[in-house]
Structure 1
Amino acid sequence: MPESEPRVWYAAYGANTHVERLRYYLEGGRPPEAVRVCPGCRDRRPPGRSVPLVLPGLVYFATDSPVWGGGRAFYDPAADGTAWGVAHLLTAGQFSDVAAQEMYREPGGDLDLAGVVATGRGTLGPGRYETLVCPGLLDGIPVLTFTAPWPMPDDDGLRAPSAAYLRHLAAGLGRAGAWTHAEVAAHLAARPGAAGHWTAEAVAALSAPTAPTGPPAPPSRCRPDPRRP
């Protein structure tokens, strides 16, 4: 993608860790398990790169997914722990359009990301994916994602994910090439909401190991932005 276009890393920690799922948000179309058609982005090119990523904070499962059944993934950057995901290098416009589709809004307008990058957080609405988070930088480029406006709930507010959802997440993380099949299964089974309902063995049995798309590589780590106070 031309260097003149502002770029951001979209940190996917849920279904969009799987690049084939992200493709529907970029190109448009209806994912096999979904009922909604994704309108796609104005710029339909694939990500410039996709790399495994470790973020500060935790991924947890809560609410009810109308697509997958069971809990869906959210990210709490303030929770104590580490979150595994996949960072996709997009233009700022592509990220705006992907975020709009996750918020059930029509894509086509550019989000003002400067404030989010400067402060680390911005709220566009009360919905479950209408809060933008910038946990830091990767290779000097802002890392952005979206999540719920609330912090990780207590046990009563958590919701176990479905087998279909975990299978999809395991495939996405597995294709990233930084973690073994067993490591991915153990990580997902230990996430709040899944813990106590799923074992590492049960998650591993959902699918065969996913072949990585390239040679093995350690995950990248999001670094704090030194420009923040």
Structure 2
Amino acid sequence: MLVWYVAYGSNLHAARLACYLRGGRPDGGAQDQPGARDRRPPRRAVATALPGTLYFAGRSRTWGGGSAFYDPAGRGEVPCRAYLMTLSQFSDVAAQEMGRSPGTDLDLAPVLATGRDELGPGRYQTLLHVGESDGRPLLTFTASWGVAGAELNAPTRPYLRTLAAGLAESHGWGPWRTAGYLATRPGAAGHWTPRAVEAALG
């Protein structure tokens, strides 16, 4: 079975996603990933967007600051990148994001039937079915809470740089547009200014 994994955070950057597929540590990160059972690259990657809000909350084990989450009930639009991959690849990427060991395929029946499936209370443990493309489901994962119930936390410089690389790679965004977007997301706003983000991007 093939599915579209819709990434909105650091996995916008193909090299970062590759750490979840092939194994390894992302540039600027502090944690190694074991990788997936199927280590091949995604079959396709396309730029897309979802209605809602990107926000930063919690504390990332890899990056040290707030992690990016998606609130589908929020206002605005979130630039994303959809990767066409096998169910086992998607399951293993999701497991690593959830802090679990990869190796077990997810049961997609609940999320495909209802649009949402909470596999646990923690980060990235809520699956969302956000549409279809070419007859394949568009799937992503986020936290069970929305931005209103989140412990907002500012992202670190290495994390912002990875997000920026992904936005440039997938959407062709330049530094100033990227800085204006990232600095105004909940969690980053008030801690980062567009000018400071642009400087951090180098």
What TM-score does the superposition give when structure 1 sets the normalisation length? Answer: 0.82
Task: Compute the displacement of 1:189 (Å).
Answer: 1.3
Task: Compute the displacement of 1:180 (Å).
Answer: 3.0
Residue 55 (structure 2) pairs with residue 60 (structure 1): yes
Structure-2 separation of matches of 1:194 and 1:144: 25
Q: How many residues align?
A: 202
Task: Compute the displacement of 1:201 (Å).
Answer: 2.1
Largest Rg, 1 or 2: 1
Residue 103 (structure 2) pairs with residue 108 (structure 1): yes
Structure-2 separation of matches of 1:120 and 1:178: 30
Give deviations 1:122-168, integer Å, cap 9, x for gaps.
011111111111111233321111111111136x8311111221111
Stretches of structure 1 that go unaligned for 5 or more consecutive residues are 1-5, 209-229
SS at match of 1:157: coil
Structure-2 separation of matches of 1:172 and 1:114: 30
2:9 aligned residue? 14
Residue 71 (structure 2) pairs with residue 76 (structure 1): yes
Give deviations 1:87-127, integer Å, cap 9, x for gaps.
11111111011111111211111101122122111011111
Task: Compute the displacement of 1:190 (Å).
Answer: 1.4
Residue 72 (structure 2) pairs with residue 90 (structure 1): no
SS at match of 1:206: helix
Structure-2 separation of matches of 1:30 and 1:103: 16
CA contact (8 A) 1:52 1:173 kept: no
Structure-2 separation of matches of 1:89 and 1:76: 22
1:190 aligned residue? 184
SS at match of 1:205: helix
AA matched with 2:49: V
Which range moved further: 6-15 or 156-165?
156-165
Stretches of structure 2 that go unaligned for 5 or more consecutive residues are none
What TM-score does the superposition give when structure 2 sets the normalisation length? Answer: 0.92
Structure-1 separation of matches of 2:12 and 2:48: 10
1:137 aligned residue? 132
Give deviations 1:8-28, integer Å, cap 9, x for gaps.
111111111111011111012
Structure-1 separation of matches of 2:75 and 2:171: 25
SS at match of 1:153: helix
Structure-2 separation of matches of 1:197 and 1:138: 37
CA contact (8 A) 1:13 1:86 kept: yes
AA matched with 2:178: V
Task: Specify which structure has the higher proportion of helix.
Answer: 2
Structure-1 separation of matches of 2:66 and 2:154: 5
Give deviations 1:30-60, integer Å, cap 9, x for gaps.
3344444322111111011122221011110
Relative distance call for 1:137 and 1:93 in structure 2 (3 A) is: same
Residue 156 (structure 2) pairs with residue 162 (structure 1): yes
Residue 174 (structure 2) pairs with residue 180 (structure 1): yes
AA matched with 1:184: T
1:128 aligned residue? 123
Structure-1 separation of matches of 2:61 and 2:70: 19
Structure-2 separation of matches of 1:32 and 1:194: 21
